[in-house]
Structure 1
Amino acid sequence: MLLRERDTAKGVLVSVCDEDCLGETYEDGDISLEVTEEFYAGEEATDADPEAVIDALQGATVGNLVGEESVGVAVDAGLIDEERVLDVDGTEHAQLLWI
């Protein structure tokens, strides 16, 4: 999984994606999900194991996840409600917001 953390004016943004999703665009009706290098990868991204992903999401203000493995880690850790996971063209997508 690719993990990227960045500080923003509104808190910590964490993006996580399965490596095979990088560079793909998923579309389903009005929904279009583009998994770009700019947002999910880049020099700041790391190849992360499940523990690192969970730690990052627990410290995030906002999380954005794409792919079965990435979303599955967050669901298994109880950070994402499985009922709230979107299926976009056969690919899992979830967002996390701590308030």
Structure 2
Amino acid sequence: MPHLTIKKKRGETIVAICDEELFGKKFQENNLKLEVDRSFYEGEKTSVEECLNALEEATIANLVGSIVEHAIDAGYINPENVLRIEDIPHAQMVRP
């Protein structure tokens, strides 16, 4: 089940979504590194649908894990912009 964090700061709505089992893990492949910091990603356990609703309002989003595929399917993320580090999908979204 994904964790969802929403922060509002300086006119931005920042959304972080991550699979719980990835908290605290570090992934590295070639020169790419991904550290899944619990303090950034841990939020409310919620449904994929609620996560996608949060992305609708997000101006900045940071996604790690299974939510990336759902965000692609919903049209929030272009699959060409997804990084896979040790086969863990990671994507960021910025909206003006």
Structure 2 residue ranges without an equivalent (≥5): none
Indicate the residue corresponding to 1:22 in structure 2.
23
Indicate the residue corresponding to 2:37 in structure 1.
36
Shift of 1:92: 0.4
Amino acid at match of 2:63: L
**Percent identity of the aligned residues?**
34
1:95 aligns with 2:95: no
Amino acid at match of 1:29: N
Q: 1 CA distance for matches of 2:63 and 2:53? A: 14
Provide TM-score, normalisation by structure 1: 0.90
Q: 2 CA distance for matches of 1:78 and 1:58? A: 10
Provide TM-score, normalisation by structure 2: 0.93
Moved over 6 A (4+): none
Q: 2 CA distance for matches of 1:78 and 1:2? A: 20
Structure 1 residue ranges without an equivalent (≥5): none
